[in-house]
Amino acid sequence: MSKTVIVTGSSRGIGAATAMLFAEKGYNVVINYNNSFESAKLLTSSLRERGLSVIGMKADVSNLKEAEILIKETLYKFGSIDCLVNNAGISQIGLINDIGEYDSNRIFDVNLKGVYNCCKAVTPVMVNQKSGKIINVASMWGEVGASCEVAYSASKAGVIGLTKALAKELAPSNINVNAVSPGLIETSMNANISIDVLDSFVNDIPLGRIGEPIDVANAIYFLASDLSDYITGQVIDVNGGYII
Ligand code: NAP
């Protein structure tokens, strides 16, 4: 029987590359989105046309009820949830005093509470199965901090803390909880960064290039596979060596 994965925030970027990779490897894939119905629909139908098993599901992961429905509907549709990839995230650049309360709350609500909500909702399912893989998408800024991204960095540091704590809590139930921590990856999240800033950033990346979404998807896929069965509570950096 095919395994099932939910990839939150997979209408584009890293999530879309991850959804595509898992679908190509034979997983049933739930493509979750919140606002981007059109791009989620486009991705879902293009994969379905290739005979792959995917469905789209709208849910705002920052809302516990919606996260619970996402899990419940996936279970109803596919009968098991083998892997949850908590990828949905948002960012905003600005000095701490230039970011309004609504915007900073939203960053914490989506990036940290969203991961917490989906983990909370999926845990009873995976404990009951006595198996499962949870992979959280953190960020290198959650490890070393970024100026002008204080809320974002703090939310991602929280994701790393959550990953380690939940790994300990769920290990006795044979559930692995790990994180990937991307560096600068070419997605719409970085669309507003100027070419000059990107060029100077690349100079500081030992592998000499910005990452592609598939670079992160490959690490996520490894953490979902049997090859990582003895790995839990870890953070895998995917940053071209930017922080070592
Ligand atoms: P992206 O292209 O902006 O995609 C973000 C995805 O998250 C979209 O599919 C978006 O869908 C979804 N999303 C946002 N809020 C949501 C919510 N409340 N509920 C459900 N889905 C939601 O960003 P990306 O670069 O691929 O980022 C993916 C993850 O990698 C994020 O967690 C990000 O923080 C992390 N990351 C990215 C980089 C980078 O350089 N790109 C580096 C480190 C970490 P809708 O439009 O439908 O809301």
How far apart are the CA of 110 and the centre of ligand 1, in A?
A: 9
How far apart are the CA of 194 and the centre of ligand 1, in A?
A: 20
pTM more than 0.85: yes
242 noted as active-site residue? no
Going by the DSSP 8-state scheme, the letter that residue 111 receives in this structure is I
Ligand 1 pocket, residues with Cβ under 6 angstroms: 8-15, 32-36, 60-62, 87-91, 110, 114, 137, 139, 182, 184-185, 187-190
Catalytic residue among 152, 221, 230, 242: 152
Cα distance between residue 221 and residue 66, in whole Å: 25
* Count of other CB atoms within 10 angstroms of residue 196: 8
- Tell me the per-residue pLDDT of 101-155, one tens digit each, with 9 for 90 and over: 999 999 999 999 999 999 999 999 999 999 999 999 999 999 999 999 999 999 9
Asked if 102 and 109 touch (Cβ cutoff 8 Å), the reply is no
Asked if 84 and 135 touch (Cβ cutoff 8 Å), the reply is yes
| Ligand 1 site-directed mutation target among 105, 149, 187, most atoms within 8 Å of CB | 187
> Which atom of ligand 1 lies closest to the CA of 156?
34
Determine the residue type at 233. Answer: G
Asked if 179 and 135 touch (Cβ cutoff 8 Å), the reply is yes
The kind and range of the H/E element at 136 are strand 132-137
Q: What is the pLDDT of residue 157?
A: 99
**Averaged pLDDT in 10-residue chunks for the chain of 244 residues:** 96 98 98 98 98 98 98 98 98 97 98 99 98 98 98 99 99 98 97 92 96 98 98 98 96
User: What is the phi/psi pair of residue 193, to 5°?
Assistant: -80, 130
Asked if 30 and 121 touch (Cβ cutoff 8 Å), the reply is no
Enter the tokens of residue 75: 């279970």
Asked if 160 and 142 touch (Cβ cutoff 8 Å), the reply is yes
User: What is the phi/psi pair of residue 233, to 5°?
Assistant: 75, 20
> Which atom of ligand 1 lies closest to the CA of 189?
3
Enter the tokens of residue 211: 């990452």
Q: What is the pLDDT of residue 1?
A: 83
How far apart are the CA of 121 and the centre of ligand 1, in A?
A: 20
How far apart are the CA of 210 and the centre of ligand 1, in A?
A: 17
